[in-house]
Structure 1
Amino acid sequence: MTASSGRWGDLAPRILSAVVLLAVGGGAIWLGGTVFALLAVVCSGLMMWELARMTRGEGQDASVLLGLLAAGVLALNLFVPQPFVIPLLLLPPLVGVIAPRRDTAVFAGYALVILATGWALVALRQGAGLAPVLWLLAVVVASDVAGYFAGRILGGPKFWPKVSPKKTWSGTVAGWIGAALVGAAFWSAGQGTAALVWVSPLVAFAGQMGDIAESAIKRRAGVKDSSALIPGHGGLLDRFDALAFAAILTAVLLPALNLFPKG
């Protein structure tokens, strides 16, 4: 194997998987409503299953149960939006820490992140409309793609070698620049305010930290991927780890800064 083939050997499956994800996710985002909410429920359940598998301890494996429980409580919150169902979001983290588990605090915290991500994405789509969700996805994708190519072409010092040995400062900065260009493009198209130019790199940075957080969990678990659900990407957590942190930050910043004013 040549150095070139080793460097780009994962590109083909990554592209193919990205096309499939784009088709499924893009269609659900476009339709919104129940279709998008159901996709969020399914993905959240699968991500909880992956997290539970990576952090399980000795004894019976309750990963499937935790995945189903996460999907169920999120579905209740999305389809029966009543105050009394909100505390149910705490059930998966609480149930998950009862059984022997490695990194109990890590599981509980990231389990809440998974559920918050599913809720935030649906809330953004239903409450803010299509443009903010498209901007969020474009920022995450542009940051990831720019970082991927810049990191492999330019190389250079590592961003956080103990946690994510492949990430470089060149890729990180390229991701910020790519995100800023996305923000500028949406602003120029009349979709959002000028604040998108500087908010987009912040959202990209949140996504990059989400990627690093999931990498840390995998390193502690001694696994390369969260699962093998997506060829070239591993599991859903491997693909949506950046989106998780970015979506939560967006759900906070978008109404606070009125990034996409209506009317």
Structure 2
Amino acid sequence: MEKLTEVAEKETARRTQQVQDKFASSVCSIYGVLDSKTFPHLGSGTVVRWEAEFWLLTARHLVKAGRKAQDFFAVTSNCSQPVSMTRRFVLSGLEQDLALCALNAAEVQALNVQPIDGRDFFSKPQPVTGRALCTLGWPNSKNKLDRYSRKAGSQMIVAGPQRAATDLGLKLEDDALFLFQKYHPSGAIDENRARLNAPNLEGLSGGLTLDLGNPVDPRALLNEDSVQIHPVGICTKYDPHKRMIRSTRPAEFIRALIESNTILEC
């Protein structure tokens, strides 16, 4: 008979494959342009739809890390052309660590992405230790990609159990703002299921975190169609020593933008 941990690992792996099939096309790779020959990889970005608008959500620290950049651009594996983001990013506070810029319909089409519905972030499953999470992003890259290239390498996905803030010695209130995901190195793979090393995972910032539900829920194990997988956060911190991923729930940031009638340039 399989141990409960083995059942959880297998079921989580099955659900991460569903995530790749459904959500991989929502996440792009972001580069900076420092000069005519230097294009450092900064991290990942998640494309979101809000009514008739399109946004790219990423991590504030990613934008700040590229503050010397003359330009930012986004690519995907299947884009028809890179998309420049030389425009004003709207930044959250330091704690939330989020950034957003608007995209127009032509840019979304050029990236060949499938935006997720921003309203999905407003559903907040209760933090449960052991609940499965996974994060989609692009491995940290030192390749020769330039602003005219259409190649973006191979996407990655990192899966692991959720941890409540109090389990980590943090404040109970932190669960309302963040999600905390533990992971094992074997749970960090590229889209071909090959394992990734720690430096690659630095590219997760700005990636999409999804709730996979309880991997040992008997109802889900008996009926695969009952599994609910949906977006819950944007990755804002990766700790290779503690093997922990922290993602920010972007609902409050989005709500503040809507209520303030912030004009987004695209």
TM-score by length of 2: 0.30
* Greater share of residues in strand: 2
More helix per residue: 1
TM-score, normalised to structure 1, is: 0.30
Higher relative contact order (CA 8 A, sep 6+): 2
